[in-house]
């Protein structure tokens, strides 16, 4: 009979940190969904618009960033395009590839969405620059950046 592997126990501090990260993520998503609804957008539409406000992207790359199927991205882009928030354009590097890009109105809506996310802004403002830099660096390290 083969020996059974045991899973190492997680220490209480690590468990607490995991729970706190989960709480922060849940609050962020809740506020993001509320902000999106204020613009008559779904959370997925708002996230896609936020990505496109930074740079035009091909559909496949959007799907990777949103962790969903390209067909879902096509539907989201279609709906945002009908509202005048997104447009499709040829990729200057490869005319066979279509890029999705935020329009001027789409960038304005994305900026308004970002500015309406208050839950972390106030607590972060209570931290010193050094504390915010430390938090940023620790989060980057956790993400392997």
**pLDDT tens string 31-77:** 889 989 999 999 999 999 999 999 999 999 999 999 999 889 999 99
CATH class of 21-116: mainly alpha
Q: What percent of the chain has pLDDT over 90?
A: 61
Strands (E), the chain: 57-58, 86-91, 94-102
Q: What percent of the chain has pLDDT over 70?
A: 94
Note the pTM of the prediction, 2 decimals: 0.75
Q: Residue 59's closest CA among 89, 98, 117?
A: 98
Q: What are phi and psi of 94, to 5 degrees?
A: -155, 100
Of the pLDDT bands very low, low, confident and very high (cuts 50, 70, 90), residue 17 is: very high
117 pLDDT higher than 90: no
Q: What was the pLDDT predicted at 3?
A: 61
Of residues 85 and 122, more confidence is placed in: 85
User: C-alpha angle with apex 67: 137 to 138, nearest 5 degrees?
Assistant: 10
Of the pLDDT bands very low, low, confident and very high (cuts 50, 70, 90), residue 97 is: confident
């Amino acid at each position: 009979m083969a020996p059974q592997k045991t899973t190492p126990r997680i220490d209480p501090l690590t468990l607490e940190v995991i729970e706190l990260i989960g709480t922060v993520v849940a609050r962020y998503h809740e506020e993001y969904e509320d902000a999106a609804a204020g613009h008559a957008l779904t959370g997925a539409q708002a996230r896609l618009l936020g990505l496109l406000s930074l740079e035009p992207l091909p559909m496949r790359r959007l799907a990777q960033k949103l962790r969903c199927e390209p067909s879902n991205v096509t539907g989201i882009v279609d709906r945002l395009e009908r509202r005048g928030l997104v447009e499709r354009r040829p990729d200057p590097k490869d005319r066979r590839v279509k890029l999705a890009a935020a329009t001027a109105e789409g960038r304005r809506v994305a900026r308004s969405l970002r500015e309406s996310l208050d839950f972390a802004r106030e607590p972060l403002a209570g931290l010193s620059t050094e504390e915010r830099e430390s938090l940023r660096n620790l989060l980057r390290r956790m993400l392997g950046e």
